Amino acid sequence: MTFEDAYTELEKIVGQMEGGTTTLDEAIALYERGVTLSRHCATLLEKAELRVNRLRDEPDGSVAEVPFEG
């Protein structure tokens, strides 16, 4: 599941829970799904951060990759 898909589903779950029309059992199931989606999103963001690099011009004219510093 992509980050965007997981995030969209998570937003829908939040909307449903904020609506206040779910039963207790439904709310618990939504909460559990939301936690799973939230963890998935966090994992994907961590992986993306590891891949993001910033290029820096070196004094000798070369280009160096510098790890992203959030």
pLDDT on residue 8: 98
Interatomic CA distance for residues 29 and 9, integer angstroms = 14
Helix ranges, the chain (H): 3-19, 24-51
20-31 in b/e burial notation, b at 16+ Cβ within 10 A?
Answer: eebeeeeeeebe
CA distances from 47 to 6, 16, 36, 64 (A): 15, 29, 17, 21
pTM: 0.72
With 70 as the cut, is the pLDDT of residue 37 above it? Answer: yes
Q: Which residue has the higher pLDDT, 70 or 57?
A: 57
Number of domains in the chain: 1
Confidence at 62, pLDDT banded by 50, 70, 90: confident
Matching residue, tokens 């004219």: 61
With 60 as the cut, is the pLDDT of residue 70 above it? Answer: no
Residue 27 lies in domain: 3-67
